[in-house]
Amino acid sequence: MSNIQIKRYGNEHTMELRDHNGLKYLVFPKIEELGVVDHLFSTRIGGVSKGCFAETNLSYTRGDDKEAVDENYRLVADALGHGRTLDDFVCTFQTHTTNVKVITEEDRGKGPKIQRDYTDIDGLVTNVPGIILGTFHADCPPVFFIDPVKRAIGLSHSGWKGTKGRISAKTIEKMHENYGTESSDLICAIGPSICGPCYEIGEDVAKEFKEVFTEDELKDNELLVPYPNGKYRLYLWNVIRYTLLQSGVKSENIIVTDICTRCNPELLFSHRVHGEKRGNLCAFLSIKQ
């Protein structure tokens, strides 16, 4: 593991690289310290997929062999521990919405083990111990939500459309409605994705954010930064953090990744680098049993 050079954003080292039987993954030490949940964010390294999917592709929809993806999930389950299997995963069906689904015991296994009977779901919440929530990524941020008081969790895929639509706020609302979660109790973490300096967008996407945030909000919080030739830099991490703060999450309870997918293409899949011929990363979160 020592020969893997991670290009980091800033100097806080909010995430650490771990190894379990050759499977390499990223974790937030501050989340581990809570002792309430198991979590990880996958990397490309340590799975059994081949070719452009090498090595740890966790998507069944990109053309990879199902048997290889199944085995990659088994490796993740083993890394998460407690004897869990493919039966314990529940995954999103992402279409860049702000829809959040409540996951119950009846949903266990939907994703790798059982065909999902839902679509257009980019966020998941549950209070069932042992169920492993999973979201898919290749430049878009995952957002982890942990309520250590009510012992409930949430996990959302927050691409630019979901970020603009404040999927983080909607995930918190869903947790409050179903589990009584108070935003002031939440510990939230924004996972690896494309960083602001790497995320160049045009006027069309910038306009979308200008319609939902004021000029002062965009500037003062470094959400959208003008760039030459009519381009912009979109700082998704900052937008999500600002949304969490607006929702009542305490500043000291928000952890932001220091790892960019585009800056680390040997370690992580990046849509901007690899295009369509690639695998998918996953974020996973589970309440300890």
Residue type, 184: S
Q: How many other β-carbons are positioned within 10 Å of the β-carbon of residue 276?
A: 9
Tell which residue, 278, 270, 209, 202, has the closest CA to residue 240: 209
Q: Tell me the C-alpha to C-alpha distance, in Å, between residue 222 and each of 28, 53, 169, 214.
A: 24, 35, 19, 12
Taking a C-beta distance cutoff of 8 angstroms, is the pair 258, 8 a contact?
Answer: yes
| Residue 4: pLDDT band with limits 50, 70, 90 | confident
Residue 65: phi and psi, rounded to 5, are: -65, 130
CATH superfamily entry for domain 16-194+254-287 = CNF1/YfiH-like putative cysteine hydrolases (3.60.140.10)
Start-to-end Cα distance in the chain: 30
**Looking at the predicted structure, is the pLDDT value of residue 66 above 80?**
yes
Residue 76: phi and psi, rounded to 5, are: -65, -45
Angle of CA points 12, 18, 24, to nearest 5°: 120
Q: The tokens of 264 are what?
A: 């680390």
**Looking at the predicted structure, is the pLDDT value of residue 1 above 80?**
no
Q: Tell me the C-alpha to C-alpha distance, in Å, between residue 130 and each of 48, 87, 103, 222, 289.
A: 25, 10, 12, 38, 6
Q: Tell me the C-alpha to C-alpha distance, in Å, between residue 221 and each of 23, 135, 159, 239.
A: 37, 27, 19, 8
Q: Tell me the C-alpha to C-alpha distance, in Å, between residue 196 and each of 192, 223, 235, 267.
A: 12, 9, 4, 19
| Residue 2: pLDDT band with limits 50, 70, 90 | very low
pTM check: above 0.85: yes
Residue 183: phi and psi, rounded to 5, are: -60, -30
Q: The tokens of 138 are what?
A: 């290749």
Only one residue has tokens 């947790």, namely 175
| Residue 112: pLDDT band with limits 50, 70, 90 | very high
Query: Per residue in 40-52, is it b (16+ CB within 10 Å) or e — as a string?
Result: bbbbbbbbbbeeb
Q: pLDDT for 142-194, tens place per residue? A: 999 999 999 999 999 999 999 999 999 999 999 999 999 999 999 999 999 99
What pLDDT is recorded for position 111?
Answer: 93
Give the start-to-end residue ranges of the domains of the chain: 16-194+254-287
**Looking at the predicted structure, is the pLDDT value of residue 3 above 90?**
no
Residue type, 202: G
| Residue 285: pLDDT band with limits 50, 70, 90 | very high
Q: pLDDT for 190-237, tens place per residue? A: 999 999 999 999 999 999 999 999 999 999 999 999 999 999 999 999
The CA R_g of the chain, rounded to the nearest whole Å, is 18
